[in-house]
Structure 1
Amino acid sequence: MPSHFTQHRFHLPRILIVGCGDVGQRMLPILVKSFKVYVLTSQTEKFELFRQAGAIPILGNLDDRLTLQRLSQIASTVIHLAPPNPSGVEDVRTKALIQALSKGGRVKRFVYISTTGVYGDCAGRQISEVTHVKPQNVRAIRRVDAEKKLRAWGSQQGVSVIILRVPGIYAGNRLPIERLQKGTAALVAQEDVYTNHIHADDLARLTILCIYRGGSQRIFNACDHTELKMADYFDLVADKMQLPRPPRVDKETLKTLVSPQLLSFMQESRRISNDRLREIGFKFLYPTVKDYLDRT
């Protein structure tokens, strides 16, 4: 590597990504141009992948606080993509991360990826960021807990915390192909729920934009302009992939056909407004799911 490149990167501002999965990896080619990027991961087998992308991997686990001690002095900007712990009503992983970062007092900007699931079932109503949260499953309850902890921490420590509430993420490798191939049923139109979407590339770009333009303690709904019921979304993908459309059944029949976890995703209906994204000037690569499918 040329010495001038090494010297350039030495003087770049530092950023830490916590939980660098698919969306995080889509950010890396953009971030490494402007930041010295660190990635917290518990998987040593991914070290080389991150190094090849220009990032510096750090071994650590949000379930083991002792492994987080070195995070306090690493970076002034943090992107938190890691999911909460799989059980309980408290997000103890985010709590551990906050405690580790607080010891250094270096963090000034923090972007957290939450979920639109915090709104619960809204019976198809259109909602915005000022709609009261009403989580109806334990996964969403943990997300609300994380949001509250982060906003309180930001206010107390002078950290600009930006929260993105994210719906269903899709991409070429994140379409419901297996579900369609299995012929998993969907709900009949009169009982179906509205679902919301964002392409993984758009979420990566939006997260990065929030580093620069997101207001302190600001919440954004990270949704595209799609307004579809769930079965209609499956039909769009099925038609594009030349697969059979899923059979439609009523809710009582569906309960006998799918797992309780899958059923929970199919019982909450909301239409998410993304109007607030205008204040940071975000432009979608894929304004709707149909736009994406038409271009692939």
Structure 2
Amino acid sequence: MTSGRPHSLIVGCGYVGERLARKLSAVHDITAVVRSSDRAAELNAAGIATVAVDLDRVRLGAWIPEKLEQAAIFYLAPPPPAGESDLRLDRFLQLATVPPRAFVYMSTTGVYGDTDGAPVDESSLIQPLTDRARRRVSAEEMTRVWCTERRVRRIVLRVPGIYGPGRLPLERLRKREPTLHPDDAGISNRIHVDDLVAACVAAALNTEARGVYNITDGNSCSATDFLDRVSALAGLPQAPRVSMDEAQLTFSPERLSFLHESRRVSNERMLKHLGVQLRYGNIDEGIRQSLEEEKAPARE
């Protein structure tokens, strides 16, 4: 016996996926796919139907929890940590036998590379500088081919840094970890997790939505500025400053790779075409909400 409601599959149900599952469950039946059996047990206990499928090890013919009528597949799983192609996504697409009405792929604004602070929109040149970003470009192309062949409405969400409850740099501030001097800090972009979830829902429910959308709050600022806002609102000391030359000696290669890229990402198409209404277009409001939710008692 079925509920008669649309069914959606969330592949990669982590920080974003769990909040998406709770939001979308008001209108869709949800099944989540995660990598580990421990995580599957955790989500099942929390009331989210979940199965464990390790896309690094799975063989062709393995089962994934599809329904004959699928409203959407949300593919939120990250690519593997090495190589220039997303083999996890490739395996999943080979296993998926029931085309959904919509395929929502969460990509990254890192595909635009470094523009030295110049603005980019969805028509801008893709010029990834890292293997991490090149894997995303490869994945976007995989979804384009797969969806075109099956006449599936495809939506790519290019996402910058995600912040929200449990995702603020509070521990870094408490440990007095340094950040770049404002004069050396480039322009970065971000989105509150709940606004990202709203974009995911809009991508599935807005039947006019298709193609690529940048998902940002529209407040391009440096990582140092964001860190200073968090410290002020959390009542913590400002992070110590270092120059880029000093950072080259002490920061991790991954952190440096983000700091070497500077761009202003436009969200005009997200607002006008996808129809997302930002709850946290103001960064300070998003930080305050995140701090308040972190302090709130856990739900039973």
From 54, 58, 64, the counterpart of 1:65: 58
Deviation of the 1:52 alpha carbon: 4.4
Distance in 1 separating the partners of 2:236 and 2:61: 46
Distance in 1 separating the partners of 2:65 and 2:33: 12
1:98-177 alignment to 2 at 5 Å? 98-101=93-96, 104-177=97-170
1:1-296 alignment to 2 at 5 Å? 10-66=3-59, 69-71=62-64, 73-74=66-67, 76=70, 77-101=72-96, 104-213=97-206, 215=208, 217-277=210-270, 278-294=272-288, 296=292
Deviation of the 1:126 alpha carbon: 1.0
Give the secondary structure class of the aligned counterpart of 2:261: coil
Deviation of the 1:288 alpha carbon: 2.6
Measured at CA, do residues 46 and 72 of structure 1 come closer, stay the same or move farther in structure 2, by a change above 3 Å? closer
Distance in 1 separating the partners of 2:83 and 2:62: 24
Distance in 2 separating the partners of 1:30 and 1:105: 24
Structure 1 residues 81-101: Cα deviation after superposition (integer angstroms, max 9, x where no partner): 100011111111111111111
**Structure 1 residue runs without a partner (length 5+):** 1-6
Deviation of the 1:225 alpha carbon: 2.0
Deviation of the 1:280 alpha carbon: 2.4
Distance in 2 separating the partners of 1:10 and 1:67: 30
Give the secondary structure class of the aligned counterpart of 2:31: strand
Query: May I ask how many residue pairs the two structures share in their alignment?
Result: 287
Measured at CA, do residues 114 and 120 of structure 1 come closer, stay the same or move farther in structure 2, by a change above 3 Å? same
Distance in 2 separating the partners of 1:221 and 1:13: 26
Amino acid across the alignment from 2:52 = L
Measured at CA, do residues 215 and 141 of structure 1 come closer, stay the same or move farther in structure 2, by a change above 3 Å? farther
Deviation of the 1:161 alpha carbon: 1.1
Distance in 2 separating the partners of 1:268 and 1:87: 20
**Structure 2 residue runs without a partner (length 5+):** 293-300
Structure 1 residues 153-211: Cα deviation after superposition (integer angstroms, max 9, x where no partner): 11122111100000110012100112222222222222211111111111112101110
Cα RMSD between the aligned structures?
A: 1.9
Misfit runs of 4+, over 4 Å: 214-217
Match in the other structure for 1:4? none
Structure 1 residues 39-97: Cα deviation after superposition (integer angstroms, max 9, x where no partner): 11222223344334443212211112327732384362200010001111111111111
Q: Which has the higher helix share?
A: 1
Distance in 1 separating the partners of 2:98 and 2:157: 23
Check conservation: 1:192, 1:229, Cα contact below 8 A.
yes
Amino acid across the alignment from 1:82 = A
Give the secondary structure class of the aligned counterpart of 1:163: strand
